[in-house]
Structure 1
Amino acid sequence: MPGIRFGYLKWFVFVGLMIIHFFSKISLVKIPNTNFPVAAVNVGIFVGMSLLYVVMIRVYGFHINPVSFKEVYGVREVYRSETGRIAGYAITWLSKIMDMFIMTIGIMRGQLLLLFVGILGQVYVYSVSGHKSVVLSMGLLFVVLFCLRNSGKTFGINFVWFMVGFVLLAILVDIFNDNIAFTEVFTRRMLLLPGALSSLFFDFFSTHEKTYLGHSVLGFFVDYPYKVSPSHLIGFTYFGSEKMSANVNMWADAYSAFGYAGVIAFSGLLGCVLWLYDSIAQKRNFVLSVALMVMPAWSLVDSSFIIALFTNGIVIALVLNYLYRSDLWEGNKHVSAKNLSNTV
């Protein structure tokens, strides 16, 4: 009865979401502002971002050559063959955090140069990596900023309608072009695939040994029972491809690590992190605080909690929002961090 057993996982995910919601109701703590001079923080951010681009340019060279979504797979093969750990971190942190950060400041403060630099950076990263998510992230950022009007009070319903509109538009464009290119991106990849892969992770790890994060942060303490990572294991088992990485959301990954207990535990940890972020954000610009978490939060759909926390930028967003004094912007409006937590 695999369908019924998978239903149990859905209920545990629901409980996990309720736990996260519970943390949004806990009173926030007052975190004192940093004593670093504003100019020093700004210079530090500029230098850090520049160093990330230096790493990219040294490894890949500098070329702006964005290809169509149909041609990205050839670019990805070259990217994978050339990418080391440090270069991989540089690309991820630039595309998910720093470029989005710069673009948001440019939009909110009317500084077109910053907006141009952020967009150019994303185009460069896309030209190097061929990751569709880099292009889609810019569209997602603009949609989120639009939906945050009126202090985010109608964010949820506005965002849902935008997503419905994107799906319908993708269907109409594909009907007109007689292919499935846009439906593949906006419907299958973004909406259907995460759910399908969750069922595959549950199907495998409900009858096989759990990972206990032996491939990750607990590698020194437990014996990992498999030769490849969980995502590659599922890719090979169900799709027959040794190269396929079946990335899955944080709850399915948590189940693969510790079963139902992992779903509850990682939901609680995420709730703690978001509560801490809300505590920082209550003294920062509301819109910028949300924008910094757009891609890290979205990464929870197709990566583990640990990867989203460190590799995909949740920690960086938290530190950056604390150090960068957006509360000093002229005309800045503070909005309840309760709204921020519910938005993210």
Structure 2
Amino acid sequence: MSRLVAHLLMISAGTVVYALSLHWVYAQLVTVQFAYAGFTYRAAPPQLTIATTALACAVAVTLPRRPARVSHVVLWVLFVVGVAPAVLMGAYTGYLSASEALGASATIAAGFGLATVGTRLLDAREAAKGGASPSPFAPRPGADPRRRLPPGTAFWSICGLHSALTYGVMAATTGISLTFVALDDVYDVRAAYREETQAYGLLGYLLSSQANVVNTAIMARGTTRRNVPLIAVGVLGQLALYSGTGFKTILFSFPAVLVIALATHVRRGRVRGTGLAYVVGPVVLMVVAALADELQGGLLWTSLFARRFLITPGLLTSVYVDFFDENPPAMFGRSFLRWWVDSPYDRSIALEVGQYLQPGGSVAANANLFADGFANFGHVGVIGIGLVLLAFLRFVDWAARGLPLTAAAMVMLMPSITLTNTSLTTAMLSHGLALGTLVLAVAPRSGWYRPGGDSS
């Protein structure tokens, strides 16, 4: 019991530090330079700050203490990158009244809490039944080995065919280059890429899945086996995609998957990283970025890491709640229900909200899965998204059964991060979430570690 209490106190303390760091970076750094882009600030009443921080802590303590499944990793990543900022920032972005901010924060906490608590309960139920059943993708006992494909055939076929198609289309349209693009020059490259993808729409879908899933799956195989050539293939693949698109997310995906590999590494039957590490990590990132900017001058690193990955998801959640509190819900009329529901909007939700955020501009304000749920069905939609997320994560665990946690987490990391700035359906179809699940399902269940290494 004392260990449980200590865990709850540490996670709560870490979440409070996270909340204070996020508030300081936003109020003192980001709004100073980016107020013109809608990053506004209004001091929140103390009681509202305490309430939203308590909600964030309440959600944090429902997360698994030591992530042992790929769903646990996804939930922790979603919490620190998307959910916690959404719960915390509504109090002081200036778009919502105190009651609106508290209501939105409570609903998001409840929706995400359904996924976290549901996951814990289903884990406990499975453990009570004697643990997970054998992998549905393992060879059946007594099956004729001559009728089975060699392990990894489907995995490497998918990776190889997808890579050939992606880089083939890229070579025929934008061209392939391994020249490193400076961070200050990415906007010109990005503009050129977007012009090309308007003419060749297929490339956008292929490239996102290649960067988020296929190349990271190759790096996962190489990292766990300490196979340098495989790691090099994945890294060079990402460099080619970054050089052709200018998307900084691709550039930073390699260190991100390495960090998740370290956090999920199993040694002597025990996962190295705890949930506290997922909370402390963003705090360290914000502090280091702020120090680097202080030494260098400007706001480059804070903008790259804190503003883009943590603050923007929280801000846009407030904007979505503000907009759809005053306008009719979209009811997925421009999504998978478009054949049955007439959308009240002529443009996508992201463009409608972007026009509201910056009138006269053409900003696509893509927000996280819970903001999308609110846009479509209000508070009920947020709760519904939580239930859908729970069901999806159970399916992901089923697909990953029998795989090392490190390999599965590396494959699903980047698709999971896309949920912080897009809907669940868009992440599945356009950003590799569905493909990542398929890759986990067909990946070989052996050969992930060299003989003598940790294998579980």
> Could you state the TM-score of these two structures normalised by the residue count of structure 2?
0.70
- Structure 2 SS opposite 1:279: helix
CA distance in 1, matches of 2:321, 2:167: 39
8 Å Cα contact 1:63/1:127 also seen in 2: yes
Structure 1 residues 83-94: aligned runs within 5 Å: 83=197, 84-94=200-210
CA distance in 2, matches of 1:152, 1:5: 40
Is the contact made by 1:232 and 1:243 (CA closer than 8 Å) also made in structure 2? yes
Answer whether contact 1:210 1:258 (CA < 8 A) is retained: yes
Name the SS of the counterpart of 2:430 in structure 1.
coil
SS class of match (2:222): helix
Q: Is the counterpart of residue 80 in structure 1 residue 194 in structure 2?
A: yes
Contact 1:254 1:262 in 2 (8 A): yes
Please say which of residues 305-314 and 35-44 is displaced more in the overlay: 35-44
Distance 1:310 1:214 in 2: 17
What is the identity, as a one-letter code, of the residue corresponding to 1:166? L
**1:23 aligned onto 2:84:** no
2:137 is matched with 33
Q: Letter of the 2:153 partner, please give it.
A: A
Q: Which residue of 1 aligns with 2:20?
A: none
Distance 1:256 1:43 in 2: 39
Deviation, structure 1 residue 36 = 4.3
Range with bigger deviation, 144-153 or 91-100 = 144-153
Residue 144 of structure 1: aligned partner: 260
**How far 1:299 moved relative to its partner?**
0.9
Q: Does 1:250 align with 2:369?
A: yes
Given that 1:284 and 1:334 are in contact with CA atoms closer than 8 Å, whether structure 2 keeps it comes out as: no
Amino acid at match of 2:151: V
Q: Deviations over 1:302-328 (max 9, x none)?
A: 111111122111211111111111335
Q: 1:231: which partner in 2?
A: 350
- Aligned equivalents of 2:274 and 2:196: distance in 1? 40
**Cα displacement (A) at 1:31:** 5.1
Contact (CA 8 Å) 1:173, 1:182: kept in 2 or not? yes
Partners of 1:19 and 1:267 within 8 A in 2: yes
**Residue 53, structure 1, aligned to residue 167, structure 2:** yes
Separation in 1, partners of 2:422, 2:317: 11
Paired with 1:97 and 1:155, the residues of 2 have a C-alpha distance of: 24
**CA–CA separation in structure 1 for the residues paired with 2:324 and 2:414:** 28
String of CA shifts for 1:183-223, please: whole Å, max 9, x gaps.
11111111111111110000000110111111111111111
Matched residues in 1 for 2:297 and 2:272: separation? 39
1:220 matches 2:339? yes
**From 117, 122, 129, the counterpart of 2:233:** 117
User: Partners of 2:162 and 2:314 in 1: how far apart?
Assistant: 37
* Residues 279, 78 of structure 1: alpha-carbon distance in 2 compared, 3 angstrom cutoff: same
Mapped contact 2:224–2:448 kept (Cα < 8 A): no
Letter in 1 for 2:214: M
How many residue pairs are counted as aligned between the two chains?
A: 335
Query: 1:131 is matched with which residue?
Result: 247
Aligned equivalents of 2:324, 2:427: Cα separation in 1: 21
Q: Quote the offset at 1:142 in angstroms.
A: 1.3
The percent identity for this pair of structures is 25
Q: Deviations over 1:82-118 (max 9, x none)?
A: 0032100111011100111111111111111111111
Greater Rg over alpha carbons, structure? 2
Q: Aligned partners of 1:36 and 1:314: how far apart in 2?
A: 26
Say whether the 8 Å CA contact 1:20–1:268 is kept in structure 2: yes
1:10 corresponds in structure 2 to 105
The unaligned stretches of length 5 or more in structure 2 are 1-95, 127-131, 139-147
8 Å CA contact 1:232–1:242 kept in 2: the answer is: no
2:334 aligns to what SS in structure 1?
Answer: coil
- What per-residue deviation string (whole Å, max 9, x for no partner) do you get for residues 110-159 of structure 1? 11111111111111111111111111211211111122234435332223
Question: Which of 271, 291, 294 is the matching residue for 1:175?
Answer: 294
Q: Hey, what's the Cα distance between the residues in 2 that align with 1:269 and 1:194?
A: 20
Q: Distance in 2 between matches of 1:59 and 1:320?
A: 27
Q: Aligned-residue CA RMSD in angstroms?
A: 2.0
Residue equivalent to 1:342: none
The worse-fitting range, judged by mean Cα deviation, of 36-45 and 186-195 is 36-45
Deviates more, 1:316-325 or 1:24-33: 24-33
Q: For residue 338 of structure 1, what is the aligned residue in structure 2?
A: none
**Cα shift at 1:283:** 1.2
Q: Offset at 1:261? A: 1.3
CA distance in 2, matches of 1:127, 1:8: 43
